[in-house]
Each structure stands twice: as structure tokens, then as C-alpha cells.
Structure 1
């Protein structure tokens, strides 16, 4: 039975390849294959994530302190992600002490913790490369000490949006334009500078989020390979 399935898959792939060869215009189309880089955005496929599926996501919390502190900011970011991608992200009241490195079922577990000195969002994926879960650790030392434009709250909004951007598949962009530069920028804090817009993804970030979704219906580039090891990007 297994051999038959493999053979059938190989035959199907051969037909698909032949169809592409027979239609050179399509083979060279920029819309045929998944894209991982653009001005102001980057999808780090070395972490295994290739695309963002249609399934809804849920945000949970490691403990009650994390839930109380992070919920308002998580809700702002969840709304921004849903608006950009059409994928529902729900902030729950669930508290879980789960220690699994990679939560599954499109679950993000957020924690405000003194065990790290830099905030980070891990990137977990399915075997096909779909973003599937994450653990977000927000460094307590930075949360209480860092200000941007003289405001703790601007920093709070930015760090939560930045790490949740990692959670669903974005990395640090390689190139960008300014005014404003992308929120997902990795060398300094990018994004908007006012309090009411500090959590917003810029147009460059949004292009990356849309590319993540669009990749779900595209072919993987011939030279691309999914790294089966999950990784983490930090800020």
C-alpha cells in the first residue's frame, strides 16, 4: 500500500512538472512559487515555516501574571494580524504550564519571565511547512525598564507585536525603506513612533504577512527544502 501511494504521488508530480514545462509562461510566473523575501519583510525558511494556513489561532498564557499583564497588548496585535491576513487570532483566558517546546494546533503560549534577558518568539511548523504554534517569552527586565520615545507603553506594544510576528512566521527583514521602517526590523526598533500606532504593523510588515498567507496556495520553489528543526528568532 505504501509503495502504491509513493508511486502514485511520483506519477502525479511528473504530470504536474510536465504541465509546467508545457506552459513556459506559467513556469516563469512570479506568482507560481512561494516567496520568502521582499523589501521590509522576510520569512526565515530555515526555521521550517513556509506559509500561514487558514486555521484560526489561539493565544494562551503561562501564568496569571502573564495573562493579566500581556492580554491588552496581545489583543491589539491579534486584531492587527487578523486584519492583515484574514486569519482569526483569539486571545483566550487559558493558563497552561505546558513545557512543550512547540505547542501544536496553532497555539501560542505567552510568558512574562525573568528567565530570559531578551524577548523571543519560537517558530513551530507542521511537516508541510505551515506555521503551527509558538512560545513567546517576554523579558521582565526589559518590560519594566525599557522606554521608547519616553514611554514604557510604546515599548510594550512594539515588543508584543514583534514577537507575535515571529510566532506566525515572520523574521527580521534584510532590506527595508524608512519612514517608517518595518516593526519586524531586527537591529533597532522600527515601526510607528506614536503610542496609538506603536503596535501596528507597517505596510512593509503587512506585505510579509500577506506573502505568508499567499504562500499557502503556491508551490515550493524547486531548490527550497523544509528544515525539520524548529528554531527561534529573538529581539
Structure 2
């Protein structure tokens, strides 16, 4: 049976739901004979792209959440880079959802978890503002407009070009570069800790929407793989 024509039914799914609570390791395995058919199915290709997107989003979100504790140059670099990276990934994910819907708009997961994000006014504001500027100018591209615009808004008592918790290569950080990117992304003139506060608020918003995308993809996988005769294996 082609996944393109599969009727997704959550009620038919026999595997446990993915959960935020600690559980035992698991795998969902596609039998070779089924995979040999699915490898040429465009709908399966879109599902695998969705999985790749969720992998990348979770990487960035987990990194951002892990950068807690004492404020150091390294932790600040990690949190700022996570903000930039997750914002760009989220923009790509939201742009991809209509393509995913070409095959899965009839599924419960898409209707109830993913499609509402495309109609959400707050999400649209993020997309048309900071996510667009970060994705199109600063993260996946290195456009001159980022520094030309961002540096114009920076007004500090001290301009730290390079710093590090130690001189080791892995600890080196370029603070002013990130500050300029944040100014460009937010189109704001606020400075110092207030700017970091605005970035943190936006990072929380981005992480929240990104987590919803990931959970929607989780649910879509639960529906879709149930039609493929896959096996759930506890490890």
C-alpha cells in the first residue's frame, strides 16, 4: 500500500504515545520489504523530511535550555547561537508545513496540531519579523545588511569584540557580532541587559512554537507508521 494513499487513523495506532515523561528506550522499525516500497514514495519522503526538521529543532532547543547556570562567555555564546539557529530552523519548518500538508492534511495530527500553527497570528508575526530576518539574512546567509543595520543600533559603554572564559580555542566568543545580529533581528534600539531580556523572551516563544512543531510531527509519525505494519520494540 502506498503511503500517499494511506488513510491515517490515530485510533488504529497500537504504539504508546511519545511523551515528555521519562520512559524506557524504544524503536519503531520498518520491515525491509515495506521500506523497499516506501523508499520511492513521495509522501514518505515528506515524512522523512519532517523527521529531519524535528531532529534539528530539538538539537537547538535542548542546547538553549542546557545553557543555564552561571553566565559565562561560553554559556552566552551557546544561548545566542541556539536562538539564531532555532529561529532559522523554525522558519524553515513553518515554510515546509504546507508541503507536508499536500499528503497529510487529512490526518488528525496535521489538522489538530500542525495546521493551527499556520493560522496563528502570533506565529505569523514571528515569521514575518525576526524569523524572516534571521533565516534570510543572518543564519543561512551572511548578508552585509545584518551588520550594516545591527551595528547602527548598538550603543554600549564598552564594545567587546572578542572574549573568552579561557584562551582555549573552544572558549573564544565574539560578543559584538551576536549583539548586532540580535539588534537586526528584533529591530530594536534597547541595549545591554534589556536587549538580552528581549532575546530571552523571543527565544522562549521560538522554543515553544518549535516544540509544538516537533510534537505535531511526533503525532503524525504515530499515525502514518501505523499504516505501514511497523513494529514497536522496547529496548
Task: Confirm or deny a common fold (TM above 0.5).
Answer: no
- Bigger Rg over Cα: 2
Bigger relative contact order, structure 1 or 2, given CA contacts below 8 A and separation 6+? Answer: 2
**TM, length-normalised to structure 2:** 0.29
Higher strand share: 1
Higher helix share: 2
